[in-house]
Each structure stands twice: as C-alpha cells, then as structure tokens.
Amino acid sequence: MSHNDFQFIEVQRVDPTKVEKAKRTEQFIEIYQPMDAEQSVSQSDRCLDCGNPYCEWKCPVHNYIPQWLDLAKQGRINEAAELCHQTNSLPEVCGRVCPQDRLCEGACTLNDDFGAVTIGSMEKYIVDTAFEQGWRPDLSEVINTGKTVAVIGAGPAGLACADVLIRNGINPVVYDRNSQIGGLLTFGIPEFKLQKSVMARRREIFESMGVQFKLEVEVGKDITFEQLEQQYDAVFLGLGAYKPLSLSLPSDDSAAQSEASEQQALPYLIANTSHIHKFSQTTADYVDMKDKSVVVLGGGDTAMDCVRTAIRQGAKSVTCAYRRDRENMPGSDREVTNAMEEGVEFMWYVQPLKVENDDNGKVTGLTLIKTELGEPDANGRRRPQNIEGSEFTVDADAIVVAFGFQPEKPDWLDSAKVNFNQWNECEAFDNSEYPMQTSNPKVFAVCDIVVGADLIVTAIAQGRKAAEGIVDMLEDMG
C-alpha cells in the first residue's frame, strides 16, 4: 500500500459519529457509533509513525500504537488485535473509556496543530471488528504449570492479572461478590460510556481461555482469606476503592439528615445500572431524578457520569458545581463536552457550604460560596480559596456528592500479615523483586487499593505487573 506522508494534512481527524441528542438524553446507550472500515483506514493512515512515539510512552500499558495502526491501515485487523492484546487485557474497554485527551492522544505529535490520531476509537474498532470476525486469543501453545492463584476482585485489575496468569500456564480463579464480572466497569460506569454487552463478551472470552469465575462470593463473608491462602499458590487483591471522600455538609435539619441530605455518587450509579439490568444486587438505593432539580458536586469522571445519568432519568435541570474551572477539572474534557451537549449546566469556582431543607427535612436548595485560585498545592495545582461574603443559594431537590474514593483496609485481612500505611493504602511496590508483592510474600495487591482511586488503564497495567511478579515468584519456587 502506498503511503502519503501528508495524509495528516489532507485528512482531518474525524471522531466517530455520536448518536443524535434526542435519543442520547433519554436512553442508556453508548453514544459513539462504530467507525466504518474506510474511516478506520484513513484515520490510521494519519499516524506519522514517529521514531520515538510519545503516545506509546504516555499510554500506561505502553501499547504498540503505531504498529497496530499500520496493521489496521492494511486491513490486517486480526493481527492488529493480537498485537493490542500483547500489552492490554481489555483494549476494547480502554478504547471506549480511557481519557485519551490526557494520555495517548494528548501526547500525539499531531495533537496541537492538526488534531491527534483517533487512537482510542481505533483501538475499539480493531478489537470489536476482530471479535465480530471470530478472532479469539490463541493459547494453544501455553503449557499448564498446574499452579493456581486466587484473584479477589473481577474489576479491571483482577481481570488483567488473570489474563496474564492464564497466558503463562497458571490457573486463576477469580472471586467477586458481584453477580457479574467487571467491577466498576459493569456497575459504576454507565452504559452511555461502556455498554454492558462488552463485558459479557469479555467474560465468555476469558472463560474460553480457561479463567474460572466464582461470582457472588464475598471474601471475608462467604469464604475466609485463610482458606484461599491455604488452597492457592498465591493470592491477588484487586478490591478497588469504595469509601467515598465525603464532605459532610451541614443541613438545616440534622435529625432528618439520613433521609433528606445528599446522595452519594457511587450507590446512585450502581443502583441505576442494577435497576436497568435487573442485576441481582440490591436496588434499594435506586433514586429516580425525574422532574427534579439536581446539583452534582465534583469535577471528575464520576461527577460527569452522575450528571448525565440524571439527564437520562428526566431531571428538570442538572447542574454540576465545581470549585475550579473547566481547564482544571480532573476528569476527561471529552466527557464535559458530552455533558454540556446533553444539557448539563456548569457552575465554576464554587464550593458547597450547606444543604437547605424544609420543615419535613426535604432538600430545597444548596448554599455555596464563590472561590478563586490561590497558591499551588503539593501537586502543583492551584488551591481554590473561598471569597469572603460571596455566599449564595440555589434551588435544588437533590444533591449528589461525587468527590472521589479512598481505599479501605478490609477486616478480613487483619491476620494476613499484609501491611497498610496510615492512609489505608496497601503497601505493594512495583520495583520490588516480585512487583506488587505485599509484606506477605504469597499476597500481591494493586491499584485502587494500593494508590487510591485512579483509572481503568492503570488498574490494568498494575494487574498485569502483579501477574508478572506472581509468575516469576512461582517459577523461582519451582
């Protein structure tokens, strides 16, 4: 195939078409439509094949991006999918939900002047197309070692660990308290970003590779950690971070607080997904925002998922209140654009002070104070400061708090000789002899439970790294 060196000028970056707004704001369906074959060729041909690909360095799993784009350009989709899987256990998921603007595409040489190559959409296209054509990972050359590992948590970290283990002849058994695999991919992230059929297909693929799932089994309740430690050659912890970083807002009626005050983001999202799909998890937390004026507090991916969920539930108005501005939001800018298109209002530079209630304890509004950016904090981000005397109140029927999550040490690990630090983060280091090994040599841990809430792709990167540590350790033990 001839290569046009100036393709990136002649062919503009084209993102996949979005579903029309009327449908988008009513239905929980993925909003990006699939790329077509012609578009995939012209978009992948925009890649400059830089000698030192910054995109690859910036991608936490260091995907071989220019190489798989080149294969896709030649229509060699199955080979491209094979290459995608060499570095990433869930490439079709990352293609959909990575904040590419902050990762691979943000680092693309073309980003500033011509528009980055559509790396995420191409990753999704390659893997979805290969699966549709019947391609499946080939493990026929793998020799089974007979070793077994208990993987606790079927989120992206646990799945990535299981993927690398099975490809190295080690048999993972994945335990999860949920009825479906995926962790937050299935229960936290709404369908408009990642449709649930993607994870259902992944489950079939992992099972056909030999990964075993034991679902609706909660470690510490249905089975003890000690049983797992005795039964398996190693144990992997990919438990996630579920404790909300809460800002307890005073309310007019503290007695009625539990019924009337703010709603936490994750239970709201999980209950909505469980309600729609009739998953066996409890939907007691289900809240319908129909006809309500909703204010969501926070500026990350979780906040964007909440505002867009409330829109689809038929809220009268949805406002996102954030203490910095759009440029300084922690979430993906693409999701802010999508939220704005769907009718979400944004209030920048505001900090919540107090939930307002009526005599029955029902939420009637929120008092906020305006902020301005002050001196940078330890991470270099300018800290918002309240502007004295700038308090104001907005009407609201529902307040959703989306301030992020922190890890929590489970009680059932008390006797496991696994060290946690003062922030309840499990101590496991990627530069140890066996990466991600904890103070208990048989136990490995990663991601949200180790560093606090982060991204799917970092969970995958660390799950894979821990699996490599386990493989090395079991090999050395003979």
In the complex, the residues that contact ligand FAD under the rule CB under 6 A are 97-98, 152-158, 175-178, 183-184, 188-189, 193, 218-220, 238-240, 266, 269, 301-302, 305, 410, 447-448, 453-457, 459
> Which DSSP symbol is given to 442?
T
Q: Which does 119 bind (CB under 5 to 8 A by kind): ligand SF4, ligand FAD, none?
A: ligand SF4
Nearest to ligand SF4 of 61, 443 (CB atom) = 61
When CB distances are held under 5 to 8 angstroms depending on the partner's kind, the choice from ligand FAD, ligand SF4, none that residue 123 binds is ligand SF4
Among residues 212, 141, 223, 210, the alpha carbon closest in space to that of 177 is found at 223
Binding site for ligand SF4 (CB under 6 A): 59, 61, 63, 65, 88, 94-95, 98, 100, 103-104, 119-120, 123, 457
Phi-psi region of 210 (alpha: psi -120 to 50; beta: other; left: phi over 0): left
Query: With CB cut-offs between 5 and 8 Å by kind, which of ligand FAD, ligand SF4, none does residue 156 bind?
Result: ligand FAD
Report the partner that residue 100 touches, choosing among ligand SF4, ligand FAD, none (CB closer than 5 to 8 A by kind).
ligand SF4
Q: Which residue lies nearer to ligand SF4 by CB, 318 or 457?
A: 457
Instruction: Say if CB 65 and CB 44 are below 8 A apart.
Output: no
Q: Report the partner that residue 63 touches, choosing among ligand SF4, ligand FAD, none (CB closer than 5 to 8 A by kind).
A: ligand SF4
Q: CB under 8 Å to 44, separation ≥6 — which residues?
A: 69, 70, 72, 73, 117, 122
**Chain position whose Cβ is nearest to ligand FAD:** 155
* Smallest gap from residue 153 Cβ to ligand FAD (A): 3
CB of 113 to ligand SF4, least distance (A): 20
- The pair phi, psi for residue 75, each rounded to 5°, is 80, 10
CB of 36 to ligand FAD, least distance (A): 25
Residue 191's binding partner among ligand FAD, ligand SF4, none (Cβ under 5 to 8 angstroms by kind) is none
Tokens 């209630």 found at: 357
Q: Which helix (H) or strand (E) holds 66?
A: helix 65-73
CA distance 127 to 132: 9
**Could you tell me if 345 and 319 are in contact, meaning their C-beta atoms sit under 8 angstroms apart?**
yes
Closer residue to ligand SF4, CB minimum distance, 57 or 392: 57
Please report which helix (H) or strand (E) contains residue 461, including its range.
helix 456-477
Cα separation, 342 vs 244, whole angstroms: 27
